[in-house]
Amino acid sequence: MPMPRVLVAGGVNMDTTYRVASLPMPGATVNTVGKSQAIGGKGLNQALAVRRAGTDVGIVGSVGEDSEGRRIREFLNAEGISCDSLASLPGSDTGKAIILVDDEAENLIIVDLGANLETDVGIVARLEDTWDGMRAVVANGETPIDVATVLFEEARKRSVTTVWNPSPMPEEVVTLLGLTDTLIVNQTEAAHLACCDATPVELGQTLIRMGPAEVVVTLGNDGSQICTRHASIKIPAVEVDAVDPTAAGDTFLGYYVSSRLEGLDPSEAAHTASKAAAQCVQCMGASDAIPTRDSVCGNE
């Protein structure tokens, strides 16, 4: 298997998705109208999106020594994703997620992180032979903050680009924000980090002043706002009939990172990422819905 050009740290789970007519209100009970199971987790989904976009990638994280963990390893190997930094922990349960998706393509997700919580900084020390040829490292909010911090510090020493997606939002963010080259957030997350409620352009420029050289604020159906130290560009969304948004943000990130490494500028990368995310939301599930490069780019 080729050495990875990108490392993605984050959650690795088994997902169970239930279709419901509408999401339940507090205290309410709703019946399901469908059920499916798939491999997921933000780390896995983002690594898979990078790989399906055409870039060699490895994953940093932990699973249990259980049937779910073995199934995940088999899946990653089949996809050509390096598992050299994916620990198998005896006595731990592989992470699990319960996802509800309603008829309006809105979702609600409950995660039991399980073995993901046991990923520790020691795993970064074991990456020594992996840095050769590395171009970027990615961490998300499912990455333990101490692991993400040490990973980014090591990347900075080697001039490797750091990409942070603080979803779900961790409690400690200041140190990691200062170690981030590219920040990818939705508008709610951007407002939290900037400690203000403002327009996407204002949020992006505020966050630029806090450390990152490049900020992407994703806006759902309104597209995305790309902010650098020199410009702010609005990228429209691709209009489609959405079915399930579960892995759309992870798909966007994976295609954006891969496109930037190919030499595309932020605007071009965001256009490609938007096309990929639009294909993703038209399919049910997480990993199953992430499109391949051929389906996104065709003969481009």
pLDDT tens track for 45-92: 999 999 999 999 999 999 999 999 999 999 999 999 999 999 999 999
| pLDDT over 90 at 260, yes or no | yes
Instruction: For residue 300, name the pLDDT band (cuts at 50, 70, 90).
Output: low
Better-predicted residue by pLDDT, 226 or 246: 226
Residue 129 pLDDT level (bands cut at 50, 70, 90): confident
CB atoms near residue 213 (< 10 Å): 14
pLDDT recorded at residue 190: 95
What DSSP assignment string belongs to 92-148? -PPEEEEEEE-TTS-EEEEEE-GGGGG--THHHHTTGGG-TT--EEEEETTS-HHHH
pLDDT digits (tens, 9 = 90+) for 197-211: 899 999 999 999 999
Specify burial of residue 171 (Cβ count, 10 A radius: 0-12, 13-18, 19+).
exposed
Q: How confident is the model at residue 171 (pLDDT cuts 50, 70, 90)?
A: confident
Mean of pLDDT values over 19-35 = 94
SS3 content of the chain, % helix, strand, coil (to 5): 35, 25, 35
Q: Does domain 6-22+33-290 have CATH number 3.40.1190.20?
A: yes
The CA distance from 276 to 253, in Å, is 10
pLDDT, residue 174, reads 75
| Residue 22 pLDDT grade (very low, low, confident, very high; cuts 50, 70, 90) | very high
The answer to whether 252 touches 289, Cβ cutoff 8 Å, is no
Residue 226, both tokens:
């790309």
Omega of the bond prior to 168 within 30 degrees of 0, cis? yes
Quote the pLDDT of residue 283: 87
d(CA 50, CA 140): 14
Q: Domain map of the chain by residue range?
A: 6-22+33-290
Q: For residue 275, which of 297, 257, 300 has the smallest C-alpha distance?
A: 297
Strand pairing category for 161-165 and 82-89: unpaired
* Average pLDDT value for the chain: 93
The CB density around residue 200, as the number of other CB atoms within 10 Å, is 23
**Distant-in-sequence, close-in-space partners of 152: CB < 8 Å, separation ≥ 6:** 137, 139, 162, 164, 176, 179, 180
Percent of the chain predicted with pLDDT > 90: 76
SS3 166: coil
What pLDDT score does 299 carry?
52
Compute the residue count for the chain: 300
User: What is the structure's pLDDT at 284?
Assistant: 77
Residue 157, pLDDT above cutoff 60: yes
Least confident interval from 111-125, 175-189, 213-227? 111-125
Q: Is it the case that residue 14 has pLDDT exceeding 70?
A: yes
